[in-house]
Chain A
């Protein structure tokens, strides 16, 4: 009897030691990657991480509601939101980039099997409804030698609010003043022309079903589903096809801001793909200010987890088709993680 008790007690003690569990919520774009991270991390350390992919907006709301140890978002907090955060909680918010995503233009033109080249201006004019046919002079000029049919262009965009649309419209706002003035950037914008499809699959479905259609999807979705996509001219004038290398190259910047809130669209990197973006984890710098963090041990667990994600975790990025962090982003994130505190004391 005594023996059994001791064994039971031992089991409970074991269970208690293993019992750190962390909650996170936010972006759905990196969800497959995060699921992989957290299951591997659980095998290594026994720390359980529950991640709910409720969308970036939801992740930020949960961070403000203090129900999560970390939030996750495809877009960094705006200056207004950061000011609101600092005023409300008396601490800073730390952005930690984890991976890179990209958005690619896909098209369906019967009889054209070449990879088309686009410039930002041409994509903007197509989405503004100014370029109406595939054999338009502006498209033909970028694609000498390709026989383009006089087919009307059917523009397809996302109908739901999404980080994908945000990256795409941010890029268009940078390369086209007219787009910036008439439409602007956002997760959902007031599209001047075209059909809306829900989700990447909705857009891809409409593009594949409609001869003459152009749409945009996440790079990962396009690769996984064998969707043909075009090359886009970057700021240096080079036509770049999106790939894990060219997307990673987009983030290889000389002057990388300390808070990592950097927009990579229309990147100056010479080999970089121009429609790319980071996705971030969001943390309270003073972890005790977050009511979800209940002890110093939990605070340390959060910091350890994020440290692991930007180092050892990165090996899973490319396997799951997410571009990994460039060296400069890792270095700066290390410095940012060193500032994490719990009740005034450094966590790591």
Chain B
């Protein structure tokens, strides 16, 4: 009897403990949104919500601020990085879970996960000292000189071939997000029941057919969740991008030329913001970044639900 009571009391306490912790997370998220909104209210009021988003002028001297170049920069860099990283990260996941002997798979998995543990400033240094000179000397400049004679119309699309800019930032970003999509995909693939595979093999399927027709469709929910996690990471990445993207916000952006993202402009200008309007505009960008992340998560959740619903019907 006493034990029962004890157990029940423990249950109640534990429930409350969880409720309070869970509630605190919600509360903190709401507080953050509120703080960013109220901090950015001056800018939203001054330029109008739509006007602030759509304006591409960012000039602290003239007191004109608009989020458009940074919004665009964030969306382009993270979408490109996600696209580039998708195939390698999925390939790594499949290789580890299906193809390699366990000892080798473990080593590869460990190394891939290690990519997530590296501080982003290290990626930035790697970019500046290794990737940028390589890209400049072996890809950007040869391509640029080729374009001068063969396709002059390409030049404005390409931009100055200095190595620093959109392309380098996207490449480093895609390397940085590989572990996020890869490790979730790996776990999802490992969760595919043995019976499913064995059934396929029994029908005479090859290994590749098993992966393509059973494993990937079965694990798509987990794979997709990993992709979204990677996207969220790419949207918010600050340090490495700031070090490599060239921090220019003159539209239009070009492939090799400098660009800027929402996170990078906040990191750059927050400490020495001159005047209330610039400070408020930076917080307003923070609020938009919050909204963008929220939007991505909502869409992801929606798609994930539809996927799992489809699975239930099968």
A188 within 8 A of B: yes
Segment with Cβ contacts to B, from A94-102, A120-128, A204-212, A278-286: A204-212
Measured CA separation A150–B219 after assembly (Å) = 57
B258 within 8 A of A: yes
Measured CA separation A159–B248 after assembly (Å) = 8
Residue pair B242, A198 in contact (C-beta under 8 Å): yes
Residue pair B269, A196 in contact (C-beta under 8 Å): no
**A interface SS class:** loop
A-chain residues with CB within 8 Å of residue B271 when the two chains form the complex: 54-55, 57-58, 160-161
B15 within 8 A of A: no
Residue pair A152, B160 in contact (C-beta under 8 Å): yes
A190 within 8 A of B: yes
B128: nearest residue on chain A (CB-CB)? A205
Q: Could you give 16 example pairs across A and B, Cβ below 8 Å? A: A54-B271, A55-B271, A160-B271, A163-B272, A183-B61, A189-B60, A190-B62, A191-B250, A193-B250, A195-B165, A197-B247, A198-B247, A206-B164, A209-B129, A209-B132, A210-B162
Q: Quick one: which of A22-55 are within 8 Å of B by CB? A: 54-55
Residue pair A195, B272 in contact (C-beta under 8 Å): no
Shortest beta-carbon contacts, A-B, top 6: A196-B247, A161-B272, A159-B247, A184-B61, A190-B59, A195-B246
B164 to chain A, nearest CB (A): 5
B194 to chain A, nearest CB (A): 51
Residue pair B60, A187 in contact (C-beta under 8 Å): yes
Residue pair A198, B243 in contact (C-beta under 8 Å): yes
B163 within 8 A of A: yes
> Would you give the 0/1 interface string for B109-153, flagging 1 where the beta carbon is closer than 8 Å to chain A?
000000000000000000011001100100000000000000000
B-chain residues with CB within 8 Å of residue A205 when the two chains form the complex: 128
Q: Quick one: which of B265-314 are within 8 Å of A by CB? A: 267-269, 271-274
Residue pair A198, B274 in contact (C-beta under 8 Å): no
Residue pair B268, A161 in contact (C-beta under 8 Å): yes
A202 within 8 A of B: yes
A54: nearest residue on chain B (CB-CB)? B271
Q: Which residues of B are at the interface with A, using a C-beta cutoff of 8 A?
A: 57-62, 128-129, 132-133, 136, 160, 162-165, 242-243, 246-250, 258, 260, 264, 267-269, 271-274
A230 within 8 A of B: no
B264: nearest residue on chain A (CB-CB)? A159
A-chain residues with CB within 8 Å of residue B260 when the two chains form the complex: 196
Measured CA separation A56–B249 after assembly (Å) = 24
A-chain residues with CB within 8 Å of residue B57 when the two chains form the complex: 190
Residue pair B248, A191 in contact (C-beta under 8 Å): yes
Contact A161:B133 (CB < 8 A) given known A183-B61, A190-B57, A209-B163: no
Contact A186:B61 (CB < 8 A) given known A56-B272, A154-B162: yes
A176 to chain B, nearest CB (A): 15
Q: Which residues of A are at the interface with B, using a C-beta cutoff of 8 A?
A: 54-58, 152, 154, 159-163, 183-198, 202, 205-206, 209-210, 213
Residue pair B268, A159 in contact (C-beta under 8 Å): yes
B140 to chain A, nearest CB (A): 11
A-chain residues with CB within 8 Å of residue B129 when the two chains form the complex: 209
Measured CA separation A195–B159 after assembly (Å) = 12
Residue pair B248, A195 in contact (C-beta under 8 Å): yes
A-chain residues with CB within 8 Å of residue B273 when the two chains form the complex: 57, 161
Residue pair A187, B274 in contact (C-beta under 8 Å): yes
Residue of A57, A191, A192, A195 most packed against chain B (CB within 10 A): A195
Measured CA separation A187–B275 after assembly (Å) = 11
Residue pair A161, B60 in contact (C-beta under 8 Å): yes
B274: nearest residue on chain A (CB-CB)? A187
Contact A190:B61 (CB < 8 A) given known A56-B272, A160-B268, A196-B258: yes
Residue pair A189, B59 in contact (C-beta under 8 Å): yes
B-chain residues with CB within 8 Å of residue A183 when the two chains form the complex: 61
Measured CA separation A54–B272 after assembly (Å) = 9
Measured CA separation A186–B165 after assembly (Å) = 24
Residue of A55, A58, A194 most packed against chain B (CB within 10 A): A194
Residue of B57, B58, B61, B269 most packed against chain A (CB within 10 A): B61
